[in-house]
Chain A
Amino acid sequence: MLHVDNIEVVYSKMILVLKGMSLQVPDGKIVALLGSNGAGKSTTLKAISGLLGGDGGQVTKGKIVYEEKDITAWSPDKIVQQGVFQSMEGRRVFKHLTVEENLMAGAHSRKDRRNIKKDMERVYHYFPKLKDLNSRHAGLLSGGEQQMLAIGRGIMAKPKMLLLDEPSLGIAPLLVKEIFKNIKQINEEEGMSILVVEQNANVALSIADYGYIIEDGRSVMEAPVSELLTNQEVQEHYLGMSEEGRKNYREVKAYRKKQRWI
């Protein structure tokens, strides 16, 4: 169980990005974190995985607790060893390493080196395409294949919790559906809890159990997915559908203002 408790994150000691963000990821569930550009989704993930340091950010208030341990401000390698693994936004595969070497790098934190070959087969079971490409440099894969590899690296690390940052970014819509199906499958078969950050709310909610909506650095709504899907405001602003047709801009602005006060 992951608790993010009212955290504040500041970049370069002056830019306040998260203003009291809270969320929880129960064991074995898929939780979706939705929000628009710049709302603080990626920052939330990086705060959890300890990768803020590379961007000059730090958690200044609140705490992050994973399995009763306060992991706030731990170094990323320690957090991975606790079983929390982040697959970063934009895939970030190691371009000059082969597919297989990328998977090996994903398994870096593992102590049981013997099972690595077996788990590689596991990755190929979810993403058969990668098997044929295993000796190719990752930089030469297509966007979708790179995304599969990025998630595959996550499987290799055998985490208890996988954090996925925009797995749909820059990938053909048909492939996005397939990748999300794989994510659901990984959740079910490996028993990994998954926290997925998405702009593409439709596809994220199609596999998630619970959803949070983040705006301007704080969580403004949280509910089980079935409720989110029927909530009118969510439908309008995140799922792009509306029963009475498009609303005018003033009403949208009023909604934003309202959200800001929550």
Chain B
Amino acid sequence: MTFFLQMLVSGIVVGSIYALVALGFVLIYKASDALNLANGEFVLIGSYICLTLVTALQLPFLVALLITLGVCAVLGLMVERVVLRPLLNAPTISIIMATIGLGNLLAGLVHMVWGHQTRVYPNLFPDTPVTFGGVLITPVYLWSFIIVMLLLIVFTVFFKYSKMGVAMRAVADDLQAAASMGINVKRVFAITWAIACIVAAVGGVLLGNINGVNATMSVIGLTVLPVVILGGLDSIPGAIVGGFIIGILQSIAGGYLDPLVGGGLKEVFPFFIVILILMFKPYGLFGKGGMERV
């Protein structure tokens, strides 16, 4: 039972990070109908930038995190300006291809700057685990969870009540009608990319603290695909719920099934789930297959 709870807890924490990264993915899908296949590289870059600030410049973690977010926001704005804006009225497939190219470019840059060996964050959080009803939780897990939850709350409030949040949802709903409201669509796109980059970076920093950083971290860009397909590509609550579900299932499958098959199942398990979802609920749990009044 303790083992199960242990797996559950680590699943929840990893799942919360998936939720965060998936949020960025969904935002971009909603705004431009395109999958952002460079998302994993955003995660990677965020993680490396923060690592560099913490180790090379010896900055305190929170300061480093804030600077990372600032840098990543600028990166997001630049990506929108340089890569996406010229493709504003282009077919979706062109935009997706552009994000693949962008992902490769960023991956190459990361390789040039930071090399390919795994690096670890210095111990930012205390080592002694906290016990909750017999389950050991390391502080890094606990803090990751708290940071993610805070961010998710901030974003939920932002989308529900702020002027820009409502404008972003309006643009996602009907671009031309949003323009007719006087919403500056280009600015909304720019902010969307900045936010996507920021949440990816936070995900990268937290994952880096848990597992260390190397180039394979960008695989998370692929792992959030099951998350968003489960939750519904165009649903923000879906991304969050989907993140938790995939995280938990992955962790439990890893704990129980990996020893049986000799390992590796953990990585592919989310994709089993994708196939099942696509067969039975192709729009995901919360996706809108088009709202119609009947």
Which of A's residues lie within 8 Å of B, judged by CB? 49, 51, 54, 56, 75-77, 79-81, 85-88, 92-97, 101-102, 104-106, 108-109, 113, 137, 139-142, 153, 157
Measured between C-beta atoms, what is the minimum distance from A154 to chain B in Å? 9
B180 engages A96 (CB within 8 Å): no
B-side contacts of A113, CB under 8 Å: 163
B176 engages A106 (CB within 8 Å): no
Q: Does B1 contact A (CB under 8 A)?
A: no
B-side contacts of A141, CB under 8 Å: 293
A54 engages B179 (CB within 8 Å): yes
Partner of A139, one of B169, B180, B184, B293: B293
Q: Within the assembled complex, what's the spacing in Å between the Cα atoms of A105 and B165?
A: 10
- The 10 A-B residue pairs with the shortest CB-CB distance, nearest first, are A80-B182, A109-B182, A92-B177, A139-B291, A94-B173, A105-B170, A77-B184, A54-B176, A76-B179, A77-B182
A88 engages B177 (CB within 8 Å): yes
CB contact under 8 A between A80 and B181, given known A54-B175, A104-B166: yes
**A81's closest neighbor in chain B, by CB?**
B182
B-side contacts of A140, CB under 8 Å: 291, 293
**B167's closest neighbor in chain A, by CB?**
A108
Q: Does B89 contact A (CB under 8 A)?
A: yes
Instruction: Digitize B259-294: 1 where CB-to-A-CB distance is under 8 Å, 0 elsewhere.
Output: 000000000000000000000000000001001110
B176 engages A88 (CB within 8 Å): yes
**A105's closest neighbor in chain B, by CB?**
B170
B181 engages A95 (CB within 8 Å): no
A-side contacts of B184, CB under 8 Å: 75, 77
State the total of A-B contacts with C-beta under 8 angstroms.
88
B-side contacts of A108, CB under 8 Å: 163, 166-167, 170, 181-183
B293 engages A142 (CB within 8 Å): yes
What are 29 A-B pairs with beta-carbon distances under 8 A? A51-B179, A54-B89, A54-B175, A56-B89, A75-B184, A77-B184, A80-B180, A80-B181, A85-B182, A86-B180, A88-B177, A88-B180, A92-B177, A92-B180, A94-B169, A94-B174, A95-B174, A96-B173, A97-B166, A97-B173, A101-B170, A104-B163, A104-B166, A105-B167, A108-B166, A139-B291, A140-B293, A157-B181, A157-B182
Measured between C-beta atoms, what is the minimum distance from B107 to chain A in Å? 34
Q: Does B83 contact A (CB under 8 A)?
A: no
Q: Within the assembled complex, what's the spacing in Å between the Cα atoms of A101 and B168?
A: 12
Q: Within the assembled complex, what's the spacing in Å between the Cα atoms of A109 and B167?
A: 10
Q: Does B178 contact A (CB under 8 A)?
A: yes
Besides the contacts A56-B89, A95-B173, A101-B166, what 20 more A-B pairs have beta carbons closer than 8 Å? A51-B176, A54-B89, A76-B182, A77-B182, A79-B182, A88-B180, A93-B177, A94-B170, A95-B291, A96-B172, A96-B288, A97-B169, A97-B170, A101-B170, A102-B170, A105-B170, A105-B178, A106-B181, A109-B183, A139-B291
A137 engages B181 (CB within 8 Å): no
Q: Within the assembled complex, what's the spacing in Å between the Cα atoms of A93 and B169?
A: 12
B-side contacts of A95, CB under 8 Å: 173-174, 291
